[in-house]
Structure 1
């Protein structure tokens, strides 16, 4: 199965690119589904067909779905939510307020991940195309596996064992409920699904993230940051799509300056994202709605290429051995040394960027070594480890 995720700043045309790619994939014979994870769904508008919370058949080989967070909450979160509401109610919260607090920010993104896992496990489709919410939500979605893994590795087993041990006594003394086994079981099941999804999304042979940009300075800057964060969390980016570029046919004087500016930005995108390939989509003479226009759009975008091919296979992170030392290398373009903080604590490598932090569990070989040097050069963060004698 092939998983293709389209992300980018709001308004760049992710839905059109996602829907068009879906139509083209289905025309090439792949059983395809396009899934929208953006709360402001617009797949229905793009296809010109009502799309719901369950997969809707659009053509013989094409399905579409607009995820309903309430439905996903019911399936994956009901027992956990019930406990949180009960706990907060004991603390004096109004039931309505307690129910609102039980829905954490970012759960929509989390359940989007689980849907990818479901389709992968069922082998339901040949191609799953994900039309993501704007960049910040996408990054939050893709960083969830690391956050959950950190909690599960560090606290969950101890917490579950402790609560199980003290529950018979504690429930007679404390004035609040303790989580029951079915709550812990749902947390554990959620964790297993998230871990499996992470393996799918970081497998360069299976999944790709594609960044959609417009030839505008602010959009490109946000896309550069997104690319760095995607590398930080190990998600492979295989293509940059520059959308809404004015075609050569537009010769009106009014657009002359615009075209010059766009051309400059297109070349800048080509340079800064290299060696990631780039494709250009030119602005059409009408809105792109309906299957025929979507197919024409996708054919013009991909040319003779198959949209499901892997356009670039470089891994965001790798470990090399050189002169008896290990070098962990991570792509960190578009940031300077002053933006990055790195340190090691026990068996974790902690990398901190503005607004984001990643805890990377080190393999035993590196965890039992000491950091000799960390440097950021030419967009590559290199951390050098030396084995401690006697270990």
Structure 2
């Protein structure tokens, strides 16, 4: 099975490319589903057919689905949400405000992706194509598994045991509710689902993230930041798609400067994302909607290639050993040394960027060593560890 995730800044054409890729995969004989996790669904517009929360058959080999976020929240979050609402109500929040605070940023997109677990484990489809929300939402969603994992590894077992022990006494004394066993059970179940989803999505033999961008300065900058964060959280990026490029046949004087600007930006993209392969999609003279137009669009984009192929598979994090020292290397392009803080605490490597922090659990060999040096050269963050000498 292949999982292909399209993400990028809002308005760059992710939905069109997702739907087109799905149409071509189906044409090649793969049983394919295109899933929209963007709360502002537009797959129905692309296919010209009403699509809802359940898979809708488009052709013999193609299905489409617009995830119902409210239903996924109800399945995965209702007991936890109920406890949070009750707790906040005790603190003086009105019910409406408490319900809003009980939905954390990124949850909607995260729960949408949990559908992948179901389809992957049941081998329902050969190809799953995910039309993701705009970049910022996607990054929040992809970082969520690390946050949950950190909590579950560090605090969950102790907290659950403690609450179970003190509940009979505490409930008579404290003036706020304590989580019940069914709340903890749902947290545990959600953790298992999230870990499973991450296992699938970070496996470069199964999943690929593809960045869609337009040849515009602001869009390129956001895509560069997104690429760095995707590397940080170990999600494999195998292809960059530059969309809405003005074709050669447009020679109107009005667009001459636009074409020159786009040409410069395309060169910038090629230099910035090298060695990741890049494909260019040209601006059409009409909307790309309906199965026939989508299929033609995909054929022009991928030429004679199979869109399920893995275009690039280098791991974003590598550990090397040399002369008794270990080097952890992480691709961190588009940031400077002053943007990055790195330190080790117990068995965790902590990497802090503007607005983001990642806790990486170190293997025993590195956790039992000490950090000698950290350097950032040519977009590669290298952290050198050396063994602690006994005695």
Q: TM-score, normalised by structure 2?
A: 0.98
Distance 1:193 1:69 in 2: 16
Contact 1:84–1:102 (CA under 8 A) maintained in structure 2? yes
Distance 1:136 1:117 in 2: 23
Contact 1:4–1:129 (CA under 8 A) maintained in structure 2? yes
Give, in angstroms, the shift of residue 88 of structure 1: 2.1
- How do 1:352-367 and structure 2 match up within 5 A? 352-367=352-367
Q: In structure 2, what is the equivalent of residue 16 of structure 1?
A: 16
Q: In structure 1, what is the equivalent of residue 196 of structure 2?
A: 196
Q: In structure 2, what is the equivalent of residue 294 of structure 1?
A: 294
Give aligned pairs, total.
391
- How do 1:241-252 and structure 2 match up within 5 A? 241-252=241-252
- How do 1:140-159 and structure 2 match up within 5 A? 140-159=140-159
Q: Deviations along 1:232-283, whole A, 9 cap, x unmatched?
A: 1111000000000111111111111111111111111111101000000011
Q: Deviations along 1:24-77, whole A, 9 cap, x unmatched?
A: 001111111111111111111011011111111111111111111110011111
Q: Which runs of 4+ in 1 moved over 3 A?
A: none
Contact 2:37–2:113 (CA under 8 A) maintained in structure 1? no
Contact 1:113–1:194 (CA under 8 A) maintained in structure 2? no
Greater Cα offset, 253-262 or 233-242: 253-262
Q: In structure 1, what is the equivalent of residue 7 of structure 2?
A: 7
Distance 2:224 2:349 in 1: 23
> Given the alignment of the two structures, is residue 42 of structure 1 paired with residue 50 of structure 2, yes or no?
no
Q: In structure 2, what is the equivalent of residue 325 of structure 1?
A: 325
Give, in angstroms, the shift of residue 195 of structure 1: 0.6
Q: In structure 2, what is the equivalent of residue 163 of structure 1?
A: 163
Give, in angstroms, the shift of residue 170 of structure 1: 1.1
Distance 2:59 2:108 in 1: 27
Q: In structure 1, what is the equivalent of residue 315 of structure 2?
A: 315
Greater Cα offset, 327-336 or 118-127: 118-127
- How do 1:197-216 and structure 2 match up within 5 A? 197-216=197-216
Give, in angstroms, the shift of residue 95 of structure 1: 2.3
Runs of at least 5 residues in structure 1 that lack an aligned partner in the other structure: none
Contact 2:12–2:243 (CA under 8 A) maintained in structure 1? yes
Residue aligned with 1:327, SS: strand
Give me the CA root mean square deviation. 1.0
Q: In structure 2, what is the equivalent of residue 84 of structure 1?
A: 84
- How do 1:57-136 and structure 2 match up within 5 A? 57-136=57-136
> Given the alignment of the two structures, is residue 261 of structure 1 paired with residue 273 of structure 2, yes or no?
no
Contact 1:146–1:358 (CA under 8 A) maintained in structure 2? yes
Q: TM-score, normalised by structure 1?
A: 0.98
Q: In structure 2, what is the equivalent of residue 369 of structure 1?
A: 369
Residue aligned with 2:319, SS: strand
Contact 1:349–1:359 (CA under 8 A) maintained in structure 2? yes
